[in-house]
Amino acid sequence: DVKVTQSSRYLVKRTGEKVFLECVQDMDHENMFWYRQDPGLGLRLIYFSYDVKMKEKGDIPEGYSVSREKKERFSLILESASTNQTSMYLCASRLTGIAYNEQFFGPGTRLTVL
Amino acid sequence: RKEVEQDPGPFNVPEGATVAFNCTYSNSASQSFFWYRQDCRKEPKLLMSVYSSGNEDGRFTAQLNRASQYISLLIRDSKLSDSATYLCVVISDSWGKLQFGAGTQVVVTP
């Protein structure tokens, strides 16, 4: 069974803290993605990675960085958390290929920055 | 203007009825289209792809209208379990990045 896991379901941090969100997939997928989801705005792509060590900016990368040292793990880093980064963060993975394959999502991390 | 727009709803539908809703996209070069389903406090999951000729999957029918740049989803014989938010997804670039609409909420009532 396909599995994408995220390190925490709920997280509360203070302004200025460095925050690490971890995502692990067990499907040997090449592509991994980080989104944030806010009411009325839908899912917005923060960063994506097409393979190990590779990363590309998405639509809203400001204030975030990522790391992909191993194929199964994709980390999202908030260098200095701010209140406007309070959101639901969703990780996803996808098998690469000629056709655009289904993206599988993790359960999400609800981050609150105080 | 958002790249993918949806009516947020909610669409309140009696059990057994039919409901349909659309999604418009702004990039005429978009090449792939999908509907994802998201249950309350859960992650999105692929419902179905949308093909140029239209396609059915059980009670669900998806259509694509390239001339008017919209896709549609029709649900027949609605079940209580169909209550969810339906996310329209469009791929417009060579990276295969997904552009999501904000979702249409459907509430099926007994």
Least confident piece of the model among A30-34, A96-100, B84-88 = A96-100
A40 three-class SS: coil
Task: Count CA atoms closer than 13 A to A74's CA, side-chain side.
Answer: 32
Interface residue A107 vs chain B (CB under 8 A) = yes
Give A80→chain B minimum CA distance, Å: 26
Amino acid at B54: G
For position B35, what pLDDT does the model report? 97
Asked if the model's pLDDT at residue A88 lies above 90, the reply is: yes
Q: What is chain A's mean pLDDT, rounded? A: 93
- Residue B67: Cβ-neighbour burial (10 angstroms; 0-12, 13-18, 19+): exposed
The reply to whether residue B46 touches residue A50, judged by beta carbons under 8 angstroms, is no
B40 three-class SS: coil
Asked if the model's pLDDT at residue A99 lies above 70, the reply is: no
The beta-carbon neighbor of B32 closest among A33, A100, A106 is: A100
Q: Give the pLDDT of chain B (110 residues) as one tens digit per residue.
A: 688 999 999 999 999 999 999 999 999 999 899 999 999 999 999 999 998 888 999 999 999 999 999 999 999 999 999 999 999 999 988 778 889 999 999 999 99
**Contact status, residue A38 vs residue A59, Cβ threshold 8 Å:** no
For position B92, what pLDDT does the model report? 85
Asked if the model's pLDDT at residue A98 lies above 60, the reply is: no
Asked if the model's pLDDT at residue A101 lies above 80, the reply is: no
Contact residues for B39 (Cβ-Cβ < 8 A; gap 6+)? B84, B85
Task: Count CA atoms closer than 13 A to B37's CA, side-chain side.
Answer: 14
Token pair for residue B31?
């090449």
Angle at B38 between CA B23 and CA B110, to 5 degrees: 95
State the Cα–Cα distance between residues A46 and A63, nearest whole angstrom: 10
Interface residue A41 vs chain B (CB under 8 A) = yes
Tell me, letter by letter, the H, E, C secondary structure of A65-91. EEEEEECCEEEEEECCCCHHHCEEEEE
Interface residue A88 vs chain B (CB under 8 A) = no
Asked if the model's pLDDT at residue A100 lies above 70, the reply is: no
Helix, strand, coil in percent for chain B, rounding step 5:
5, 55, 45
Token pair for residue B71?
């896709």
Q: Which residues of B touch A103 (CB under 8 A)?
A: 46, 98
